[in-house]
Structures are given as C-alpha cells and as structure tokens.
Structure 1
Amino acid sequence: MKVAHVHGVLLLLITLLGSRTVFGNTYVAPEGPAQEINEIRPLKAVLKDAKAIDAILTKGYAKYKVNPLPLVDDATFVRRSYLQVGGRIPTY
C-alpha cells in the first residue's frame, strides 16, 4: 500500500469519526461527564422493582397469548437482542 493511500484512508477515517458517523451507523457523543453514583440501591429494592417488571411482562404475555422464550446463554441473548434492535445479524 502506498504511503499517500494510507494517509488518504486515515484522513477519511478521521473525517468520519469527527462527524460522528461511521459506516452508516450514527454515534452520539455524551454531552457531559457521566453522572456519579453516590450509593448503591439495596438488593431488596432492586428485586422489588424486578418483580414489578416481571408482573407487567407476565400480564402482557397472558393478554396476547404469548409464551416467553426459555432462558438461554449470554451469547444467544445478546445475538437475539442485537437482531431485535438492529434488525440484522451482527457482523464481526
């Protein structure tokens, strides 16, 4: 690869990254620093909220006569979630 070509590719990548658009996917930069967490919620409170969410989902499953999928390993869950959100199979 010629040096001029490498510099051209680098310039293109820098331009794309500078505009926060890379290969058709939009990247949104955070507007400020991350919010600091001063305390962690107690496990009981988290489990109570999780139970409430589970109840809402169970009610929706019953209403629309949907059977939830069985539990799967992390890789399968991430792949399915990516496909559901992104609308295409993830590429590496």
Structure 2
Amino acid sequence: MTSGVFTDEACAFARGKNIELIDGKALHALIRGGSAPVKFFRDLLSITTAGAPYCPECQSRMVMRKAKHGTNAGKKYWRCSRHPDCKGMRPA
C-alpha cells in the first residue's frame, strides 16, 4: 500500500504473486468509505504510465500531472513516478 504510485520494480515484484498493490487513489477511496474500482488493484503503474516517457534522472516511468499553482497553473507536465524521492520532470 502506498499514498503515491508504485515503481516499476515494485510492480514487477508483485506480478505473479498473491500481492495486491493499492496506490494512493485506491487508498483514498477506501479511506473515504467508498470502493475503489478493481482496475486500481492490479498492476497499477502500468495503468497510470502506459506509453509514458522515462525519467531523465532515474529512468523510472513518468506520470502525467497538471500544475495547480503558479504561472503554469492548468498546464500538463510529466513528473517522475518516484516523486518526491526523485525530482525528475519534463514538459508534456
């Protein structure tokens, strides 16, 4: 279980084992008392990063994000799936 997203290594480790990966979106839904869609429990990172570029800093997959503040508010960008441990970013 994580409050963020899983690394490629974590997904590879869990694949084929009796392990369910619960990411931040699914965890938040469970805490709110709702039920998370089943798709969140299987191979999460591949769902969120299919076709995503690799991080220029650590070579992990990147996740599409949307800036909420500042001069770039509303614009999309790629952020490393290992954030905040890795600060890799690139424009969308």
Q: State the TM-score, normalized to the length of structure 1.
A: 0.21
Higher strand share: 2
Q: Which structure: greater helix fraction?
A: 1
Q: Which has the larger radius of gyration?
A: 1
Give TM-score, length-normalised by structure 2: 0.21
